[in-house]
């Protein structure tokens, strides 16, 4: 518990052996629980996560990033957590920065988005940089917001806002859910703040499982729906 609030960290993914244990082991001690959703991995992701101290929930078949997050959120609501933190299971995000994400939630904010562009320090791979910059520009134009890093999944929010946003839509099972959640939070008038975070891109281990074109289309799909609604 932190400042009288129960905090849960949601992580997970597909085939994150060698990475997810590092993430879980580095989560600050004030976090009450870490839940890791194993999206039908064929390696030792689940075992590694469990040994590192996480509560593990396994998908029988691969369902996608959005489904994984929704399953973790369902668990958080059931267990009555006050604050939910989302962190990647591939060791790209820095768990020590979780405190930066949650502090604004004690200052009246509802949703805190991590941004790689407020204090840009990391050398992002060229294709990722171009696509991310383009998406952020599109996001700002369509939502009329000032968000600088809308595709960053490293974020924290009050759990009660989940009661007012419908994430239970099948088309949100893959990469669509994260941007959709942020868009709806903006539209509903929740108080949102960005804080600087870092990101690590390990080319040797691989830093993404995204399929370059189809998955970027999925990320952009919630924006297209807003544009043509």
Residue with structure tokens 């890791």?
36
Give the N- to C-terminal CA distance of the chain in Å, as an integer: 41
Asked whether 87 and 98 are in contact (CB, 8 A), the reply is yes
Instruction: Return the SS3 of 83.
Output: strand
Task: Write out pLDDT tens, residues 29-76.
Answer: 999 999 999 999 999 999 999 999 999 999 999 999 999 999 999 999
Residue 207 pLDDT exceeds 60: no
Query: What CA–CA distance (Å, rounded) separates 5 from 223?
Result: 33
The rounded distance, in Å, linking the Cα atoms of 193 and 114 is 9
Tell me how far apart the alpha carbons of residues 151 and 183 are, in angstroms, rounded to a whole number.
11
Distance separating alpha carbons of residues 111 and 156, to the nearest angstrom: 6
> What does the pLDDT read at residue 201?
84
In this prediction, residue 121 carries a pLDDT of 66
Among the ranges given (6-15, 96-105, 123-132, 140-149), the one the predictor scored with the smallest mean pLDDT:
123-132
Cβ-based neighbours of 97, under 8 Å, separated by 6 or more = 114, 154, 197, 198
Averaged over 174-193, what is the pLDDT? 98
Is residue 115 classed as helix, strand or coil in its secondary structure? strand
Q: Tell me which residue of 115, 80, 70 sits closest to 7, measured CA to CA.
A: 80
Q: Distance between CA 30 and CA 39 in Å, rounded?
A: 27
Per the CATH hierarchy, to which homologous superfamily does domain 7-227 belong?
Spore Coat Polysaccharide Biosynthesis Protein SpsA; Chain A (3.90.550.10)
* Average pLDDT score over residue span 126-149: 95
Place of tokens 């060698």: 18
* 3-state SS class at 52: helix
pTM for the structure as a whole: 0.95
| Separation between Cα atoms, residue 146 and residue 137, nearest integer Å | 10
Pairing of strands 33-38, 83-86: unpaired
Question: What is the overall mean pLDDT for the chain?
Answer: 94
List CB contacts of 217: < 8 A, sequence separation 6 or more. Answer: none
According to the model, what pLDDT value does residue 206 have?
53
- The DSSP element (H or E) to which 57 belongs, if any, is strand 55-58
Tokens of 156: 């924290």
The residue whose two tokens read 């108080």 is 191
pLDDT of residue 57: 98
Domain ranges of the chain: 7-227
């Amino acid at each position: 518990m932190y400042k009288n609030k129960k905090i849960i960290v949601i992580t997970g993914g597909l085939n994150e052996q060698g990475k997810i244990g590092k993430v879980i082991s580095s989560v600050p001690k004030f976090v009450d629980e870490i839940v890791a959703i194993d999206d039908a991995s064929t390696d030792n992701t689940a075992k590694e996560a469990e040994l590192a101290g996480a509560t593990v929930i396994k998908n029988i078949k691969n369902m996608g990033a959005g489904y994984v997050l929704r399953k973790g959120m369902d668990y958080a609501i059931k267990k009555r957590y006050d604050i939910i933190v989302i962190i990647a299971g591939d060791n790209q995000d820095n768990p020590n920065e979780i405190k930066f994400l949650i502090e604004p939630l004690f200052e009246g904010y509802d949703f805190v988005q991590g941004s790689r562009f407020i204090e840009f320090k990391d050398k992002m791979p060229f294709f990722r940089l171009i696509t991310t910059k383009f998406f952020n520009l599109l996001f700002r134009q369509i939502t009329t917001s000032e968000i600088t890093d809308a595709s960053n999944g490293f974020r924290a929010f009050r759990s009660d806002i989940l009661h007012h946003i419908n994430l239970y839509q099948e088309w949100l099972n893959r990469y669509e859910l994260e941007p959709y959640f942020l868009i709806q939070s903006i539209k509903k008038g929740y108080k949102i703040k960005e804080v600087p975070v870092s990101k690590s891109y390990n080319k040797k281990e691989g830093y993404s499982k995204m399929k370059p074109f189809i998955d970027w289309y999925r990320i952009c799909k919630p924006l297209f729906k807003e544009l043509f609604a």
